[in-house]
């Protein structure tokens, strides 16, 4: 009788608003898959031979999976979190060895016939559970180096295994977990450092071949070193409050840069970046000296940041040269250094044409010419959003994004109201994964982010990603339902 009352309580405590948004996205996604995969020779949208027919099975099985997940109590996940994580890491490692080569990667495991699964999609919920379990333990403090290192290790291990499968795009998704760490108290300097690294790489690579006037000074190298100086000085100001050190470093760094530019412009042309690099070295030595003199560890961390900042430009060139040819070409196309409309830039260019051709109201369901004639490769998976833009126009695309916005806001509410650390951490992990997929996928289709091949949640064709997202979401909803039950 008590179990029956609990089940009734769970049913009444379920967040039906989130489930409604989930169903809307799945159904809308199915119509988009129909538009992307429609075949005039086989017009039956429900036939198993078609992707739209298979997507019905994936969607229906996801609903069954969701119902099963709502019957599993939170304490099971609390007990089995590390076991699930370990099992998934073993599966990721085994996949590297036994998975067949599929378009250059070894990330798909055949399970019979034409059906394949991608373990990387299921590892996300395992990592989220393990992080929630670890951060919920007694005495955990994210400010402690050991605790933070273990949390980062839980994230990095699956990333390395997925990179071993040659699935770089799927591995990059795991960086989303760092946003959760920031919510739980990780210092903002780590996120800022990551942001700075991206800025250094983009600016350095995009303007590496441009020169300042007639001087032999690369705009990319000059800008990166100037940013490294400015960011380092700013961190001393913000985190150490040492105005004397700030004034001294600013005077030396900016003064030396100005003198070097004037000398190169009016006396003898030379690469002023050598002088800037020397000024950066003096600045780093000065900060290290402050660390030893004051015994304030923040100075040492800032010095490390400065060292990495000054060396990243030169390291990024080496890393870029060791990338695969198609990866280098994609980056060059994204940065505008190369126009390759028949090669790496073809997908994005055709996706833009498809979206633009939809106009304000769209061409209507199954009437998209770009998608029907297969001009956009992978239009039913990674580039599914271009089908929305062509068939439903600007208004339909805006409506889809509005539903996603409501879904994201709902996840924030659900995550924030969890009474225990594990539920809150898991909730924010789920939120960050969905945010990353949404921003990168839509940005990828619009040409704003690199083409790294990640699906749009609930819209892209495929069972692995749909089941993976369902696992993430409904484990959270079960935790939330128990939270409501305990308040009754």
CB-CB neighbours of 374 under 10 Å: 12
Q: Is the pLDDT of residue 73 over 50?
A: yes
Q: Counting every residue, how long is the chain?
A: 488
> pLDDT confidence of 475, banded at 50, 70, 90?
very high
The span from the CA of 201 to the CA of 217, in Å, is: 17
pLDDT given for residue 145 in this prediction: 82
The per-residue pLDDT of the chain, averaged, comes to: 85
How confident is the model over 406-418, as pLDDT tens digits? 999 999 999 999 9
pLDDT given for residue 340 in this prediction: 56
Of the two residues 260 and 101, the one the predictor is more confident about is 260
Q: Following DSSP, what letter does each residue of 393-407 receive, concatenated?
A: HHHHHHHHHHHHHHH
Q: Specify the residue for token string 């996300």.
A: 124
pLDDT given for residue 484 in this prediction: 58
Which residues neighbour 162 within 8 Å (Cβ) at sequence distance 6 or greater? 92, 107, 120, 123, 170, 171, 174
How confident is the model over 318-349, as pLDDT tens digits? 777 766 666 677 677 666 666 655 555 677 77
- For 63-88, what is the mean pLDDT? 92
- For 180-194, what is the mean pLDDT? 83
- Asked if residues 432 and 179 have their Cβ atoms less than 8 Å apart, the reply is yes
SS3 485: helix
The span from the CA of 334 to the CA of 444, in Å, is: 10
pLDDT given for residue 341 in this prediction: 57
How confident is the model over 38-54, as pLDDT tens digits? 776 666 777 777 788 88
- Asked if residues 430 and 411 have their Cβ atoms less than 8 Å apart, the reply is yes
Q: Is the pLDDT of residue 6 over 60?
A: no
Of the two residues 366 and 178, the one the predictor is more confident about is 178
CB-CB neighbours of 42 under 10 Å: 12
- For 156-179, what is the mean pLDDT? 88
Find the range with the poorest average confidence among 9-13, 47-51, 196-200, 322-326: 322-326
What residues are paired with 211 via a beta bridge? 218
pLDDT given for residue 4 in this prediction: 53
- For 343-363, what is the mean pLDDT? 77
pLDDT given for residue 1 in this prediction: 46
The span from the CA of 347 to the CA of 451, in Å, is: 9
pLDDT given for residue 487 in this prediction: 46
Alpha helices in 105-187 (DSSP H): 119-135, 145-164, 168-172, 177-183
pLDDT > 90 fraction of the chain, expressed in percent and rounded: 40
pLDDT given for residue 405 in this prediction: 96
What residues are paired with 218 via a beta bridge? 211
Most confident of 9-18, 152-161, 305-314, 456-465: 152-161
Of the two residues 389 and 110, the one the predictor is more confident about is 389
- Asked if residues 65 and 467 have their Cβ atoms less than 8 Å apart, the reply is yes
Find the range with the poorest average confidence among 197-206, 234-243, 303-312, 320-329: 320-329
How confident is the model over 421-451, as pLDDT tens digits? 999 999 999 999 999 999 998 988 887 777 7
Q: Is the pLDDT of residue 175 over 70?
A: yes
- Asked if residues 368 and 387 have their Cβ atoms less than 8 Å apart, the reply is yes
The span from the CA of 154 to the CA of 363, in Å, is: 46
How confident is the model over 272-319, as pLDDT tens digits? 889 999 999 999 999 999 999 888 888 998 999 999 888 877 777 777
pTM of the complete model: 0.83
């Amino acid at each position: 009788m008590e179990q029956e009352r609990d089940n009734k309580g769970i049913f009444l405590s379920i967040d039906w608003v989130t489930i409604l948004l989930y169903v809307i996205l799945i159904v809308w996604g199915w119509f988009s898959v129909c538009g992307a995969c429609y075949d005039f020779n086989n017009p039956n949208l429900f036939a198993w031979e078609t992707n739209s027919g298979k997507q019905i099975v994936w969607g229906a099985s996801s609903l069954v999976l969701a119902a099963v997940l709502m019957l599993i109590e939170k304490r099971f996940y609390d007990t089995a979190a590390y076991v699930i994580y370990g099992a998934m890491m073993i599966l990721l490692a085994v996949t590297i060895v036994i998975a067949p080569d599929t378009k250059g990667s070894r990330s798909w495991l055949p399970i019979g016939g034409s059906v394949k699964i991608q373990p990387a999609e299921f590892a996300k919920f395992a990592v989220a559970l393990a992080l929630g379990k670890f951060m919920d333990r007694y005495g955990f403090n994210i400010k402690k180096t050991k605790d933070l290192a273990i949390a980062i290790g839980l994230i990095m291990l699956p990333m390395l295994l997925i990179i071993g499968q040659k699935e770089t795009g799927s591995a990059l998704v795991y960086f989303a977990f760092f946003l959760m760490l920031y919510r739980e108290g990780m210092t903002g300097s780590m996120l800022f450092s990551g942001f700075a690294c991206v800025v250094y790489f983009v600016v350095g690579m995009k303007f590496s071949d441009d020169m300042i006037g007639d001087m032999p000074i690369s705009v990319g190298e000059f800008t990166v070193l100037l940013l490294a100086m400015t960011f380092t000085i700013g961190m001393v100001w913000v985190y150490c409050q040492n105005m004397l050190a700030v004034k001294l470093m600013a005077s030396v760094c900016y003064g030396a840069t100005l003198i070097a530019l004037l000398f190169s412009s009016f006396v003898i042309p030379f690469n002023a970046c050598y002088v800037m690099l020397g000024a950066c070295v003096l600045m780093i030595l000065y900060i290290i000296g402050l660390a030893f003199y004051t015994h304030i560890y923040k100075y040492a961390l800032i010095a490390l940041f400065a060292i990495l900042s000054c060396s990243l430009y030169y390291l990024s060139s080496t890393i870029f040269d060791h990338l695969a040819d198609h990866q280098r070409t994609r980056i060059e196309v994204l940065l505008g250094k190369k126009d390759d409309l028949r090669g790496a830039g073809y997908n994005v260019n055709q996706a833009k044409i498809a979206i633009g051709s939809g106009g304000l109201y769209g061409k209507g369901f199954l009437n998209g010419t770009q998608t029907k004639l297969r001009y956009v490769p992978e239009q039913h998976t990674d580039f599914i959003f271009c089908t929305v833009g062509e068939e439903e126009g600007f208004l339909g695309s805006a409506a889809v994004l509005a539903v996603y916005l409501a879904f994201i806001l709902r996840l924030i509410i659900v995550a924030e109201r969890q009474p225990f650390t594990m539920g809150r951490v898991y909730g924010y992990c789920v939120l960050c994964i969905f945010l990353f997929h949404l921003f990168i996928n839509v940005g990828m289709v619009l040409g704003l982010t690199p083409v790294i091949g990640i699906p749009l949640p609930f819209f892209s064709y495929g069972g692995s990603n749909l089941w993976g997202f369902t696992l993430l979401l409904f484990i959270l909803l079960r935790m939330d339902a128990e939270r409501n039950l305990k308040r009754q």
